[in-house]
A and B are shown apart, each in its own frame.
Chain A
């Protein structure tokens, strides 16, 4: 095994963009080298932020380190990218069992079984969950996340609700404006990258929780409520705003649009979003 680690490390060093980090990270995790596994997974995730397997690996390592909150986030992210990801479904089931939510755990395991009907680990964990409740959870969870995990009902994450109406008449309504709820579910608008590819769901997934974190940060600093977050990127600018307490508005434009103008566009869009949310409350 150490030779395998050494070999994989060497190969990964020669080709840092390869997916070998998945095997190396898992191997290190299984050997109990959690800090090393953590570093490998995080580096891999930096290079492949949209790869569900990378989030799954990172989540398993976090779970082994008993960092269950962040593990949940990573499995949740994996599922948002790949809703049938068996590893993430099992991982979440494991976490639900840990907190005693057997019903949710079972639901996630059932989803995992639908995605991978021949996986004996899923069948075993599901049988235990159905029959043993907490005891089953404990037994199945004994092998860390391998045996027992479950998915949460995030599936309808990207169901736009009458999206065309939210930003009706606003510039970029279907390519540069997005309205999300607190869980990162799309309420309206759409987003395309510079090549024209629809990136709505991926961006929404990454922004889940941003509103709450921004609120916590400014509260900690005693700055009152947060009103916006403007960011410059290499190829474009983004502006985030909270049209209501829970929702999050995202405006994206290329670098030709100055940040000040972007803030004005965001203000208009936030007003439209607020009206729409109030009308649909």
Chain B
């Protein structure tokens, strides 16, 4: 567990209390470094953070080029789970790792709330 400002911990709590969420992270979008995390054991936070940041950059550029504007929320779906991400205006990615049957709508809402806390 990374030491982080108390506000960050509360922001992550919003997400991890949702059933089916295996962990949550705050990641610097610019360099892919973990700012704070609450992850279940076995999840390689730094590596996932780096890849999530890289994906976020590519996605943002593609979306801007397509004229759909900045990314507000994205959801990488996989056979056995998902990665859900909300970029904040301040350059942080709020990231959740979830089980496949998680309530995506609820996680999205909590990610957006956490993003407001993080800023």
Contact = CB atoms under 8 A, between A and B. Distances in A.
Contacts of B74: 229-232
Nearest to B54: A213
Interface string B73-98: 11111111111000000000000010
Contact of B72 (A216, A222, A232): A232
Decide if the interface of chain A is mainly helix, strand, loop or mixed.
mixed
Contacts, number: 125
A231 B67 contact: no
A248 B78 CA distance: 15
B1 interface: no
Interface in B63-119: 63-83, 97
B77 A229 contact: yes
B51 interface: yes
Nearest to A215: B78
Interface residues on B, range: 35 or more
20 contacts: A49-B61, A49-B64, A49-B65, A193-B66, A203-B66, A206-B61, A220-B47, A220-B48, A221-B81, A223-B80, A231-B59, A232-B72, A232-B74, A233-B68, A233-B69, A233-B72, A235-B68, A235-B69, A238-B63, A252-B68
Interface of A: 42, 49-50, 191, 193-195, 197, 199, 202-203, 206-207, 209-210, 213-214, 216-218, 220-238, 250, 252, 254
